[in-house]
Amino acid sequence: MYYGNIKNCDIADGPGVRVSLFVSGCTNHCEGCFQPETWNFCFGEPFTERTERELLDMLSPDYIAGLTLLGGDPMEPENQRALLPFLRRLREELPGKTIWAYSGYTFETLRQEGSRPRIDATDELLGLLDVLVDGPFVQAEKDISLRFRGSRNQRILDMPKSLAAGEAVLWEEKQ
């Protein structure tokens, strides 16, 4: 897996101060995508053991709320396989951090047997997420007033509740 960028002080892609990893590779090619260069699976730098260590170090301060995965698309099969061991390690080393992911695939598509993005790693990967912002960016539904998403069709899902219910459950921000 490759990644295009790491932000170590992101306040736009989830609550609190976050570390964001922009993975490379996306086959959704949404019209109006804010980072079309990340569609290429080889854009940027290789995601290595050193990258993982740097991310864990960035995530370790108490003021960092968690990690956000964006792209590209972290739920592309190639990216799922690379991210799964890292997310396991993150949960083990820093269990208090939240993990958010943005995907152009819907929760339902990711759970549907036989769908392109569903692989052997998908269920475990979804189980490691706190929140999934799902659905493609739709230019006609763009709304800059939305919090943590770019278009009205996208949903912010509470993953533990969604997985327990077997259907999409919207995330509610704790005050």
Domain with 146, as residue range(s), is 2-165
pTM for the whole structure? 0.95
Look at residue 81 and tell me if it is in a domain: yes
Smallest Cα–Cα separation from 110: which of 84, 132, 86?
132
**Over 90: is that where the pLDDT of 34 sits?**
no
Mean pLDDT of 110-126: 97
Six-digit token string for 71: 């792209």
* Secondary structure of 82-95 as H, E, C letters: HHHHHHHHHHHHCC
Is there a cis peptide before residue 71, judged by omega within 30 degrees of 0?
A: no
- Mean pLDDT over residues 86-93, rounded? 98
pLDDT tier, 107 (very low <50, low <70, confident <90, very high otherwise): very high
What CATH number did the domain enclosing 150 receive?
3.20.20.70
Residue 175 lies in a domain: no
Domain count, the chain: 1
172 lies in some domain:
no
Average pLDDT over residues 44-48: 98
**Interval 20-42 mean pLDDT:** 92
Check pLDDT > 70 for residue 175.
no
Residue 97 lies in a domain: yes
- The verdict on residue 174 lying in a domain is no
